[in-house]
């Protein structure tokens, strides 16, 4: 059953070829057997999963229709789940049990999806390799010595190894697209405001966005159809109609104008990755698309701008975790100051502390104009570059990452080198645009991702472009050895 896609599992359930209980037990058995090696899950919710599967079987027996009724999935451990541990992969929240569901969790639950557990991640979503989790690093099923990408690395590893057919993730600077690229998955980051952020523990509020990690664009469309839409509980949610993502998947690409981003193919890109991406572009040309070279001159400034804006917002968002209002509290403090200092020092990991200190510095009196205000101006220039590009083309394409998955531990002592993994993805978050990563080949046995970027709220177009490509290629159907 773990070979079937989300769509095929839904069809099998409705045709009574297997029950939701059987499905849940099958995947829970795989998690029990394979997760100790991968470390993809922080919490496995077997008991509640079986209860939800039983309820799904009753809905199906009553004749209820629904693409997701009874299908299993995992949630990144950044989404609050009622009565279940939500840690954000941090010691600071290692005993936090949320009293409510995030909107994403609630909507997928109402649609009948069965949650099997909470996926590992970089601590508070800060990282590009899934090595900063307090629960230990996640391993890439394509090569256990390599990282799966971050920060949704647990979600990606779980889907790639067929421990679950689909998972949710979040993307602040590339945290869905990068792990998707490094594990041969389809990762979708919707437009800012398309999916509610209510109940999603904030890292950088103007950049965070919930999305999907699946094996195909078709599966991503099924999930997004339930997750998207206005939420009055989220002040940044946008009240705009949600298209029929599944119904629009098969539109022909004849006449599609693809902008090939000049800045993505310059210095720093691995030669083999460039070759695979250009081969994918040729597939699109054969399908009737027109390729146009496009330049976004301010895009090279996206990494420095991102690493001012994101830490500034994280320093503000994480100030609530002080051992008094929320989070870990140290033992036997001598006074209030000691309680604050030791609780935060013990609760946060090194990368989180680094970003809090950077953010506090760039927001401080005397430095605000020089760093934060200037970064926001650069952000505006980058967004204007994208807007000009989309006046000429329908979508933009390029690589998702500059290199394939790298060995665990090789970049963890050099934060600047690690931050450069975001070079092709962070600009999209600064502009609030939707983007995807789809598998487009392999280099020395490791997956390579093609990034597709669209204008605001063009998720249907992106899914269509990805789906038609996946009908022509088989890269997304490969399974890592040992997880067949």
Catalytic annotation on 403?
no
Tokens 């790639």: give the residue: 160
State the residue for tokens 């502390």. Answer: 353
Q: Beta strands 395-399 and 257-261: pairing type?
A: parallel
Q: Are 405 and 443 in contact (CB under 8 A)?
A: no
Contact (Cβ atoms closer than 8 angstroms) between residue 24 and residue 50 = yes
User: Which candidate, 472, 459, 456, 32, places its Cα nearest to that of 212?
Assistant: 459
Give the separation between CA 146 and CA 152, rounded to whole angstroms.
15
| Cis, bond preceding 434 (omega within 30 deg of 0) | no
| Annotated catalytic residue 237 | no
Tokens describing residue 306: 């991102």
Please pick, among 76, 118, 146, 411, the residue that the annotation labels catalytic: 76
What angle separates helix 46-61 from helix 20-38, to the nearest 10 degrees?
Answer: 150
User: How far is the C-alpha of 232 from the C-alpha of 243, rounded, in Å?
Assistant: 19
* 175 is annotated as an active-site residue: yes
CA 160, 162, 164, 166 torsion-angle sign? positive
Residues 6 or more apart whose Cβ sits within 8 Å of residue 1: 9, 12, 18, 22, 23, 26, 27
Q: Looking at 20, 109, 133, 151, which residue is catalytic? A: 151
Residues 6+ apart with CB under 8 A from 336: none
Going by C-beta distance under 8 Å and a sequence separation of 6 or more, which residues neighbour residue 221? 245, 246, 249, 463, 467
Catalytic option among 128, 129, 167, 175: 175
Q: How far apart are CA 71 and CA 50, in angstroms?
A: 12
> Which three-class secondary structure state does DSSP give residue 66?
coil
Contact 425, 178 (CB under 8 A): yes
Q: Is the alpha carbon torsion for 131, 137, 138, 140 positive or negative?
A: positive
Strands 167-170 and 210-214 turn out to be antiparallel
Cite the active site residues. Answer: 76, 151, 175
């Amino acid at each position: 059953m773990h070979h079937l896609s989300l769509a095929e599992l839904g069809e099998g359930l409705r045709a009574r070829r297997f029950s939701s209980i059987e499905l849940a037990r099958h995947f829970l058995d795989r998690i029990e057997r394979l997760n100790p090696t991968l470390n993809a899950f922080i919490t496995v919710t077997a008991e509640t999963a079986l209860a939800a599967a039983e309820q799904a079987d009753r809905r199906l027996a009553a004749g209820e229709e629904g693409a997701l009724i009874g299908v299993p999935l995992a949630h990144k451990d950044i989404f609050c789940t009622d009565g279940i541990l939500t840690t954000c992969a941090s010691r600071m929240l290692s005993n936090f049990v949320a009293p409510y569901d995030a909107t994403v969790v609630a909507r997928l639950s109402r649609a009948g999806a069965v949650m099997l557990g909470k996926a590992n991640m970089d601590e508070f979503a800060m990282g590009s390799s899934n090595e900063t989790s307090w629960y230990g690093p996640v391993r890439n099923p394509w090569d256990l010595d390599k990282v799966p990408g971050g920060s949704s690395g647990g979600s990606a590893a779980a889907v790639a190894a067929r421990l679950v057919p689909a998972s949710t993730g979040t993307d602040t600077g590339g945290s869905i697209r990068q792990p998707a690229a490094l594990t041969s998955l389809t990762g979708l980051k919707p437009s800012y405001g398309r999916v509610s952020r209510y109940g999603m523990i904030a890292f950088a509020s103007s950049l965070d966005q919930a999305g999907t990690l699946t094996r195909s664009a078709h599966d991503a469309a099924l999930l997004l159809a339930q997750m998207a839409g206005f939420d009055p509980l989220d002040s940044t949610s946008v009240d705009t109609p949600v298209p029929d993502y599944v119904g629009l998947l098969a539109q022909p690409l004849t006449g599609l104008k693809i902008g090939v981003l000049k800045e993505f193919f310059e210095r720093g890109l691995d030669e083999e990755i460039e070759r695979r991406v250009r081969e994918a572009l040729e597939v699109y040309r054969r399908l009737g698309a027109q390729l146009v070279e496009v330049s976004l001159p301010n895009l090279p400034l996206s990494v420095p701008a991102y690493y001012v804006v994101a830490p500034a917002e994280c320093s503000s968002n994480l100030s609530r975790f002080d051992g008094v209002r929320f989070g870990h509290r140290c033992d036997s403090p001598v006074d209030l100051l000691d309680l604050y200092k030791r609780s935060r020092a013990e609760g946060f990991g090194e990368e989180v502390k680094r970003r809090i200190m950077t953010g506090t510095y760039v927001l401080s009196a005397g430095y605000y104009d020089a760093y934060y205000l200037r970064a926001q101006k650069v952000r505006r220039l980058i967004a204007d570059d994208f807007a000009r590009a989309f006046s000429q083309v329908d979508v933009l394409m390029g690589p998702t990452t500059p290199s394939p998955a790298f060995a665990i531990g090789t970049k963890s002592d050099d934060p600047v080198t690690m931050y450069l993994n975001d070079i092709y993805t962070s600009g999209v978050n600064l502009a609030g645009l939707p983007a995807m990563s789809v598998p487009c080949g392999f280099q020395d046995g490791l997956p390579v991702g093609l990034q597709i970027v669209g204008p605001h709220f063009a998720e249907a177009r992106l899914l269509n472009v990805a789906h038609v490509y996946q009908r022509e290629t088989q890269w997304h159907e490969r399974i890592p050895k040992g997880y067949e």
